Chain A
């Protein structure tokens, strides 16, 4: 893999990521969620670790921007664990990109993660991971993963 490592402008990408994260503070601030400079650096580190751990290469800015836009209105996110949760979601994102064998697009995966997180998993990342794994391995044909059940109709 030495060619790719030689080729990718890692320092430029890090700068771009920091700028992107900075710009994401504006929409998330409406929900009382912001990232400090230290948070951003921690998140960039965690993303690099996740990429290394999953053996993937990132050619865009990574999933943070989409994760922030998707998750910032979640009732289970608080400022205290905001950065840490995003870092964990990012690691989970890359893990399931691999697990799904590229079957799930970035948007589909983030959408499912958000629906599970806000829905049946009630803000538990462990449960989200478990449900995603189940969706992939136990119910691969279930397309409405994380969708709310139809309202129970009383007779």
Chain B
């Protein structure tokens, strides 16, 4: 589906019928971009400039809640550019917070991604290619950012989710978390894997058993208990238990904000199919057993 069609569908704006407004806008951007040196551009560059114009318009429509009807596109575009600038400043603050909350588990992918985000802010061209993401994001989040987000909106959302993961991991001691990650995968530092998920799963398992979540220690007996807890499988009951366990985690770690609570609840919901179908043995992998004997 073309970009214009996508924007038209989401914001019920008929860009095809507003070509006489959109084209001069693009022409203006081309003149600014080439500084009058060239009247033609390679197709990829021209397409990039158009995408950026559409991205700014779409960003403004999304954040202002306006309907495009009744507003000149040039106004929507200029206000969109201001929104993109504001989002970039916000993303920079988020980046600072992401660095501040870095749990320092030694993951190469994590470190590399933070370096790349720094490159993003150096390379990001919000005037002409605001839709672009000029960096490589390797470190996978537990809940990936939708591919439909572009430019600084993608980076901002990525950082927002990363901070939530960091804050949760920061509630546990680094030593316990690393011990668990080594059990999860001995080469976790070299692998491109999410580090929050196994830590959360273990903490959730402990919360389900009403044990101290901060220890991050589950043994095979605990896993058997968890397996039996969900057998026979009852969806409504399982959902209630997971919700209660997430609440216990939030209280234990003093995580009161809605964003965090929703994030943890979503992560718990993601475990749902695995809790339902995984075998007794599989539960041990799911909750990353740290010790065979209770400590």
Residues of chain A touching chain B, judged by Cβ–Cβ distance below 8 Å, are 1-4, 6-9, 51, 55-63, 94, 97-98, 102, 105-107
A26 to B30, CA, bound (A): 30
Q: Is the CB of A56 within 8 A of B43?
A: yes
Residues of chain B touching chain A, judged by Cβ–Cβ distance below 8 Å, are 2-4, 16, 19, 22-23, 26-27, 30-31, 34, 37-47, 50-51
Q: Is the CB of A55 within 8 A of B42?
A: yes
Q: Is the CB of B41 within 8 A of A7?
A: no
With A55-B43, A56-B43, A59-B27 as given contacts, are A7 and B37 in contact (CB-CB < 8 Å)?
Answer: no
Tell me whether chain B's interface is mostly helix, strand or loop, or mixed: helix
A26 to B121, CA, bound (A): 52
With A1-B47, A2-B2, A57-B46 as given contacts, are A7 and B39 in contact (CB-CB < 8 Å)?
Answer: no
Q: Which residues of A contact B40 (CB under 8 A)?
A: 51, 56-60, 62, 94, 97, 106
CB distance from B22 to the nearest CB of A (A): 6
A107 to B16, CA, bound (A): 34
Q: Is the CB of B42 within 8 A of A4?
A: no
Q: Which residues of B contact A60 (CB under 8 A)?
A: 39-40
Q: Is the CB of B50 within 8 A of A7?
A: yes
A56 to B50, CA, bound (A): 14
Which of A9, A102, A106 is in CB contact (< 8 Å) with B39?
Answer: A106
With both beta carbons as reference points, the residue of chain A lying nearest to B23 in the complex is identified as A7
With both beta carbons as reference points, the residue of chain A lying nearest to B26 in the complex is identified as A7
Which of A2, A4, A6 is in CB contact (< 8 Å) with B46?
Answer: A4
CB distance from B158 to the nearest CB of A (A): 26
With both beta carbons as reference points, the residue of chain B lying nearest to A2 in the complex is identified as B2
What are 28 residue pairs bridging A and B, where the CB atoms are less than 8 Å apart in the complex?
A1-B43, A3-B2, A3-B50, A4-B46, A4-B47, A6-B4, A6-B16, A6-B19, A7-B23, A7-B26, A55-B43, A55-B44, A56-B40, A56-B41, A57-B41, A57-B43, A57-B46, A58-B40, A59-B27, A59-B30, A59-B39, A59-B41, A94-B40, A97-B40, A98-B42, A102-B38, A105-B38, A106-B40
